[in-house]
Amino acid sequence: MSEHQDTVPGAVVRITELVGSSPDSFSDAVRNAVKAASQTVRGIRGVEVIGSNADVDENGNLSLYKVHCKIAFVVER
């Protein structure tokens, strides 16, 4: 995710990892992770999905989508 430093010249970018989840889709799980992070972190510049997995219910249906993400944000000086 070092390319995010180039979006704000001279900036210091911090990267934190988190897991988002959704009962609907992997995309919604990513959105939920970024939305939750944005409640306490300012200056989010990007997200990278490192991995994904899902829970399967007793009927063989996907029941919970999960994504492991890195969120990049600019450190305020």
pLDDT mean over 53-64? 97
Helix/strand/coil for 69 = strand
Distance CA(69)–CA(19), nearest Å, equals 6
Q: What confidence tens digit (pLDDT) does each residue in 5-44 have?
A: 446 667 888 999 999 999 999 999 999 999 999 999 998 9
C-alpha 1: how far from chain center? 12
- As a whole number of Å, the CA-based R_g of the chain is 15
Domain boundaries, the chain: 2-74
Helix/strand/coil for 25 = coil
pLDDT at 5: 43
CATH architecture entry for 2-74: 2-Layer Sandwich (3.30)
Phi and psi at residue 4, to the nearest 5°: -70, -25
pLDDT at 4: 45
Given the structure tokens 């995710």, which residue do they identify? Answer: 1
pLDDT at 6: 46
